[in-house]
Chain A
Amino acid sequence: MMKIVVCVKAVPDPQQACNIRIDPVTKTLMRCEVPLVLNPLDKNAMQAALDLKEQFDAHITALSMGPPDAEGIVRECLALGADQGILLSDRAFAGADAYATAYTLATAIAKIGPVHVIFCGMASSDGSTEWVGPEIASFLDLPVVTMVEEIVECRSLQWKVKASLAHGYRLMQVQLPAVFTVTRELNTPRALVFSGIIKARKKSIVRWGIDDLGVPAEAVGLKGSPTIVSKLTTTQSKREVNILTGTREEKATQLLQKLVDSGVV
């Protein structure tokens, strides 16, 4: 049986992102008022796993590290068709940078047991570093392909995948087990269906804390993070705006005139 782990992150709803501000004291995100949702690209990661499950005998674990209310997105993954959901939630995990996040996720994956495929999104919508997938691969000493836009061949343990470049692609051959980070071009995530939501109610979510992972407190969360936020400065604009007024026609004429006058058109 093909064992798949999909790493899913609960992110503040990108539609409401402008409400997020940095806590001036702790220098961490104040995400309280913004509801947590499944990171958009992790839907593509989930879909990649579900597509495999349609072709092969496969078992999907959705794995997330986050606050207790990240449980919602793990449940969403169960409703989408994951067989198992694991939430890594512990005060000790809080404040993790990409390195500590990847370390914690990698430790959990090692605890899950042998897996063939680990899917991550290419990036989260909040931190958006793109580091977590490759760093998980480093901690587990697995090969990784980032920015996968097509799985070309997956009938054996030797896969072929296309990884996107700014203009073009790389065709990679990779031996499983391996980590893949996926782009939105890979697939079109299917929407939740009611029967899935009902089925997910019967599935339970496993919750692991620091003791379950058996790692020292210094290795995770803020303490295990090599990077920290040192300060927040505000920026000021150097431009003085001239708002054009009048009817639509007049505004368009004025704008064109300004552009011609300044020599840029």
Chain B
Amino acid sequence: MVTDVDLSVRIGSLELAYPTLMGSGCYGSGEEFAPFIDLSKIGGVVLKSVTRAPRLGNPTPRLVQTPAGMLNAIGLQNPGIDWYLEHDVAKFASRPCAVIGSVAGFSVDDYAYVAERLAARDEIHALELNISCPNVAAEGETFACDPRLTARVVKTVRATTDKTLIVKLSPNVTDIAGIAREAESAGADALAVINTVRGMAIDVNAWKPRLGNVTGGLSGPAIRPVAVLAVYEVARAVRIPIVGQGGIETASDALEFLLAGASAISIGTGNFTDPRIPVRIVEELHAYLAARGVRSLREIVGKANVGFANPYQYEGDEG
């Protein structure tokens, strides 16, 4: 039994006090959840994705509860980068945790334009490239579904900033490891695995799709096994850290991702079940590691993944 367990992790050059990020699009800018949770007890918040032009988002309904999860089709509602920089970003300075900007787009040029401006702001500590949104017509997800486009967009954005660049991958592909390799060679510092799984629900009385957008993205415990496998496969293909996500609600869920090869985890839909989940996970991870005499969370990364190379070994860390 040890008591001084180190839960801090490093993603690129971003130091996180805790291994827990809050998923993009699920957590506002953190402020919305501040009445219910101490934000200094989470690793960081990934902000809602922002695009070059303002977007009103998809028609309603945008949410459907489904077994062990939910479908969403928000459609990247956001004020556009100009408004965002002028009115919103300054407020993020007061967050007692890491603040990660999320960039979405419809062309390589869009991504570079938004990423460069966002990364230039001190309030933003790192960037996540959302190349995998399933809820916008055609172009949104095609980046993460095409290895060459992935490589191009990551390379172009990489050239605009030195801040930590996390690339968020889609599970809606045949070879996620191949895409991951492209993102790594193009200069990604880390990978977020996975975004939502495409899905749909139908109202059998109205004979109509339940979502205004017809299709949506599935999240929550329903996708956890899909996400754990994706992390497992990506971890074997790259040496950069992975932020595992998809249905994490407990420390045990988080451990599955860590043992599969994720260096950190992200919680989205779990916050809708109970806003205290992220803090509970940290407490339980601490107890789990302490009970096993493990001094650092970094030591267990990938332990269930035979042949996996722990990214922290390449940085000269223990583990």
Same complex: no
